Structure 1
């Protein structure tokens, strides 16, 4: 029988459990995107008003990454996950039965704060894996998370169009109840690896953010890249609702499947590090991200142009994301959860900024203005990489 003084074995069943549950939990953050038009109609408000929903969700996720994920180093992780899932279920039920905008906004923020469990799973997998299998195991969990992000839009688009947007959040709450039972029955407990206070834990996160140039650059590239993708997916529903498409929520959601093709192709980028340096792989990834906006803008009135653009933006972003993590995990420290916290907080803050600016751009200038925002974010990531990558240094980090 496993005790807290020994580490449990990472069996294939447990690895796949965390992979599947990562996808289910992270999906909560993205169900809203194809449903914004339906929510706007239901509450009889402008599209720009309901665009605050994904902004608040992403800001909430950033807060959860900052204040909850580091606790994975300090508390019993299974117990932390089970408590967090109770809060996820409550937030989803509030969203389901919300009858005013303020309730929608509060629920959206709370969904984001509590749906950070995949970022607790990733350090668990890293800690339990044998060195030879660590990269492959982390990659599997990240692929589950990625599929949850992409397929959530497809699934919610269909459910929203045929059964209403509230049904989607009710189903999500039911899925989290199943997730809670799965964690309770199947997930092993893992001993904490940090014995200091919560304040000292958070101070160490801030220390890493201030003193690690490699982490800072990776965080900026990730933030700008995710901001670019968030810009297109947040406003795509409004673009496709009008001429010449007049598409419903299910069509909008299907673009999640389109993006999956590019994102899954990115999963193989790590195999290229024998032939190319990390610097080169990130450069090529960000170049693809920049070029994707040519198709998204010039092909804006055709499905084929948008499809190619979405595939390329997901391919570029996810390739850069994988190599960003490879880059900062090479920093000589055992504070991997806290490294991941810094990076992912910045990542989702960038997504929130991209969503917010894209909503304003849509209101002021339509799709061309949205493309300008996305292209600017992509260019900033590429320029930062070209200017600062050669000069970053690796510092000795806190443990």
Structure 2
């Protein structure tokens, strides 16, 4: 059976989506989520160019992540109520506009507003992954979603590396401009490739948000997962929001070196299948506790950085 055409309303697929469509969705997820992390290696350059302090410029990635959290809460539920294809295309345009506004920002307040909007619209990735799940039949859903998630992880991994190199060579504004163009190109590809999707709910928007509250009340495991992931995200963001500034101040290193730390994200990708196997044997809570302990050890090691010579600081960070 052929892959659904553009006019098709997808509900219960009987055939796997074409490899080209899966690739388009993987690229879309990767480019959209990368928008969250482009700024982090460039903070030193941004602070210097806009003549602002380290604390103030640290609000750029903070507001980006805040916008992302708000977008997941307030915008992601719309995928149940409306055609996901339309949401994906609309968010692609708005994300590109937000990235373009960041590139043109003349002062820090304008960049902060643009950063918040980038985070809101980068929830485009949270529409693409469910769309992949809907397009795949039950027997191949894990495989298809896994490929799209690979694109998303690559976006997280490579975004800092690319932005660090581009910003050091041509400036941070060029990086935001290129990001806007990449999102527009990705949106154009998905406009041609994606079919239409049937809505799965007739609830109005307030009722959709209310259903989230019902899930929160009824699922204690959900509450624990949200709490633990929120706290881990705080630590994750604190590290990346200050890394580039510290490297610039302590070691005189530029955005390219800060971006190269994104390669460390490969450790997470490589550990994922191992963690999955251990989770099957020991249970997810045990593996989560082990991972949290490893993160704690890593942060504890950073407490000694102020007593170390510069030559020893870089290996410690790695």
Common fold, TM-score beyond 0.5? yes
1:179-328 equivalences under 5 Å are: 179-243=186-250, 245-257=251-263, 259-268=264-273, 269-298=275-304, 301-307=312-318
| Bigger RCO (CA 8 Å, 6+ sep) | 2
Q: Structure 1: how far apart are the matches of 2:316 and 2:143? A: 34
Which of 62, 65, 69 is the matching residue for 1:58?
65
How far is the alpha carbon of 1:266 from its aligned partner?
2.5
How far is the alpha carbon of 1:221 from its aligned partner?
1.0
Deviations 1:203-259 (A, max 9, x none): 10121122210100011111111111111111111221133x2211100110001x2
How far is the alpha carbon of 1:45 from its aligned partner?
1.2
Q: Structure 1: how far apart are the matches of 2:153 and 2:10? A: 33
Note the residue ranges of structure 2 that are not aligned, 5 or more in a row. none
How far is the alpha carbon of 1:145 from its aligned partner?
1.5
Alpha-carbon spacing, 1:6–1:222, altered in 2? closer, same or farther (3 Å)? closer
The answer to whether residue 114 in structure 2 is matched with residue 103 in structure 1 is no
Deviations 1:269-317 (A, max 9, x none): 223333221122112211211122234334664322211xxxxxxxxxx
8 Å Cα contact 2:10/2:196 also seen in 1: no
Runs of 4+ with deviation above 6 angstroms = none
Q: Structure 1: how far apart are the matches of 2:17 and 2:291? A: 32
Normalised to the residue count of structure 1, the TM-score between the two structures is: 0.73
Deviations 1:303-339 (A, max 9, x none): 22211xxxxxxxxxxxxxxxxxxxxxxxxxxxxxxxx
Paired residue total: 305
Q: Structure 2: how far apart are the matches of 1:226 and 1:135? A: 26
**Alignment match, 2:43:** 36
Q: Structure 2: how far apart are the matches of 1:274 and 1:6? A: 32
How far is the alpha carbon of 1:6 from its aligned partner?
4.4
Q: Structure 1: how far apart are the matches of 2:18 and 2:233? A: 32
8 Å Cα contact 2:79/2:127 also seen in 1: yes
Q: Structure 2: how far apart are the matches of 1:31 and 1:198? A: 32
Q: Structure 1: how far apart are the matches of 2:233 and 2:143? A: 23
**Alignment match, 2:27:** 20
Note the residue ranges of structure 1 that are not aligned, 5 or more in a row. 308-399
Q: Structure 1: how far apart are the matches of 2:135 and 2:188? A: 22
